[in-house]
Amino acid sequence: MASFTQVPAKNKQGYKWVCTKEGPPDPVSGKRNQIARRADTKKEAEARVDKVLKALKEDGINEKKNKNLPFIHVAEEWLETYKRTKVKKNTIRLRGNSIATLNKYIKNLNIDKITPKKHQSILNDLFDKGYAKSTIEGVHVTANLIYKHAIKEKYRKDNPATGATIPVKRRTVEEIEANPIEEKYLESHELTEFLNAVRKYGLDQDKEMFYLLAFTGMRIGEALALKWTDINFETHRIRVTKTMYNENNNMREFELQPPKTDASIRDFDVDEDITNMLQNHYKTQTKLKMATRHLLPEYYDSNFVFTHDNGYPLVYKHIANRMERVMRKTNIHKHATSHIFRHTHVSMMAEAGVDLATIMARVGHDDPKTTLQIYTHVTKKMEKNATQKVKIVFADLLKAAALQEM
């Protein structure tokens, strides 16, 4: 039911009519929500109120309420909810970084004023400034999630990120040829050279870590999170149920999280030489612990496989520095991080004749695109070598056939 009142106005009649009607309660607070509009006549004022009520009924958008609702407010509101989901802390950190990037463009722009054209221009500008494709994709995905939240909360009707195009740099022939698949893994002779250098120049725990990575294909976070209870020395099996998260590479600020994917939770067999090596490491570590823990009041009895002298687990930066140090002792010129051992393990298993499905299960379903590339490359190379080997073994038969045709 409508109610009408007169208010002073600077028009010919000296007043305007204000029409007020009861609107739907506020969806958040549940409080009463009266809609009022003014016009020169009762009929015009009521028509304006009815228009607002119709819009609220159809899509729930409260234009007056959303008039001063900047992007930054909605983004922060969404992030607070997002933090309470099952996503990992590192993902939350990356989403926060994406919001910081978006804030450079639309921090104070009202949420309902952001257009598809504006969103696309942000992506294009990031591309023009040389941002990595992964960064641009992260910004796009984060914005998309925020806009979906805005639609759900009735802050706007549509999603301006829908249909956007991620700019992609076209690679030249030179760039493609300069980054062949062989760059993603260590070939047999390179792995041999690296591990020889580890044995000759490696420092404490280097041999155990790098042999483990090479002969299991574990992610570095999984290896750092490994505890002695995860290794069965009798059956020669390793269990992966967690990964190490340490944003600041501070040994005291680590956090154990579930592995990257459900497929990453796995149990697999390991070569007996590797488990024997780890068992010797366990004995050495136990003796060191017994000899030093009373000297270190802050000793952290963590049961981790790879630790500092005070018991805290090693961090990724430590392994990266050790790997770089060993690489300098070799003639290997590939840009390599610890992740190269995952790809190397894939190539080792492919060369040993292990099928792709088994390899994927063993390494915890790594990037299927890269794994398939390496697997296909290695197996094709094996096919070529097989033909050459057959030719060598049966050279006399082939030669005899050729002579018969003459």
Mean pLDDT of 7-12: 90
For residue 237, tell me if it sits in a domain.
yes
Query: Are the C-beta atoms of residues 51 and 63 closer than 8 Å to each other?
Result: no
- Residue 387 predicted with pLDDT over 70: no
Taking a C-beta distance cutoff of 8 angstroms, is the pair 121, 79 a contact? no
For residue 305, with 0-12 CB atoms within 10 Å meaning exposed, 13-18 middle and 19 or more buried, which class applies?
A: buried
The CATH number assigned to the domain holding 119 equals 1.10.150.130
Q: Are residues 196 and 127 in the same domain?
A: no
Stretch 142-149: mean pLDDT: 96
Give the contacts of 47 (CB within 8 A, at least 6 positions apart): 39
Whether 262 contacts 225, CB under 8 Å = no
Name which of 306, 326, 330, 328 is nearest 316 in CA terms.
Answer: 306
The pLDDT value recorded for residue 200 is 96
Say whether both 13 and 144 belong to one domain.
Answer: no
> What does the longest C-alpha to C-alpha distance in the chain come to?
117
Specify the pLDDT at position 391.
65
pLDDT digits (tens, 9 = 90+) for 56-96: 776 656 566 667 899 999 999 999 999 998 888 888 999 99
Domain annotation covers residue 122: yes
Q: Which residue has the higher pLDDT, 298 or 143?
A: 143
Do 266 and 361 contact (CB within 8 A), yes or no? yes
Say yes or no: 117 and 222 in one domain. no
Mean pLDDT to the nearest integer, 334-345: 91
Q: Do 234 and 320 reside in the same domain of the chain?
A: yes
Q: Where are the beta strands (DSSP E) in 24-69?
A: 33-39
Q: How far apart are the first and last CA of the chain?
A: 107
Q: Both 308 and 334 in a single domain?
A: yes
Residue range(s) defining the domain that contains residue 124: 71-152
Asked if residues 110 and 69 have their Cβ atoms less than 8 Å apart, the reply is yes
**Shared-domain flag, residues 263 and 147:** no
Say yes or no to pLDDT of 176 above 60: no
At residue 253, the 3 state secondary structure works out as helix
Shared-domain flag, residues 75 and 130? yes
- Pair of tokens at residue 312: 């805290």
Nearest to 261, CA basis, from 364, 371, 369: 364
> Are 15 and 124 contained in the same domain?
no
User: Would you say residue 276 lies in a domain?
Assistant: yes
Residue pointed to by tokens 């792995």: 191
Please report, for residues 63, 108, 313, 374, 381, the alpha-carbon distance to residue 347 in angstroms, rounded to integers and kept in the order given.
59, 51, 29, 6, 11
pLDDT of residue 259: 86
pLDDT-derived band at 398, boundaries 50, 70, 90:
low
- Is residue 352 assigned to a domain? no
Domain contains 179: no
Q: Looking at residue 306, what is its pLDDT?
A: 97
Tokens of 230: 């995860």
Q: Give the whole-angstrom CA distance, residue 381 versus residue 385.
A: 6
Percent of the chain with pLDDT over 90: 56
203 & 328 share domain: yes
Distance CA 205, CA 274 (A): 13
**Which tokens sit at 58?**
């159809």
163: left (phi over 0), alpha (psi -120 to 50) or beta: left
Task: State the average pLDDT over residues 331-345.
Answer: 91
Q: Which of 70, 162, 72, 61 has the alpha carbon at shortest distance from 117?
A: 162
Both 50 and 192 in one domain: the answer is no
Residue 366 pLDDT exceeds 90: no
Q: Which of 97, 130, 152 is the last residue of a domain?
A: 152
246-250, 331-335, 343-347, 402-406: least confidently modelled range: 402-406
- Per-residue pLDDT tens digits for 236-271: 999 999 999 888 888 888 989 988 788 899 999 999
Instruction: Assess contact for 5 and 22: CB atoms under 8 A.
Output: no
Q: How many domains does the chain have?
A: 3
Question: Could you tell me if 216 and 93 lie in one domain?
Answer: no
CB atoms within 10 A of CB 81: 9
| Rounded-to-integer distance, Cα 271 and Cα 352, Å | 14
Q: Is residue 365 part of a domain?
A: no
- Tell me the CATH number at 254: 1.10.443.10
Residue 248 has what pLDDT?
Answer: 84
Domain final position from 311, 338, 365: 338
Q: Which helix (H) or strand (E) holds 137?
A: helix 133-152
What integer best gives the mean pLDDT of the chain? 87
Same domain for 51 and 84, yes or no, is no
Say which range, 170-184, 210-224, 257-271, 307-321, has the weakest mean pLDDT: 170-184
Q: Is residue 38 part of a domain?
A: yes
**pLDDT given at position 25:** 73
| Length of the chain as a residue count | 406
Helix spans in 202-339 (H)? 206-216, 220-224, 272-292, 316-327
Query: Is there a domain that residue 121 lies in?
Result: yes
Question: Of 280, 310, 338, which closes a domain?
Answer: 338
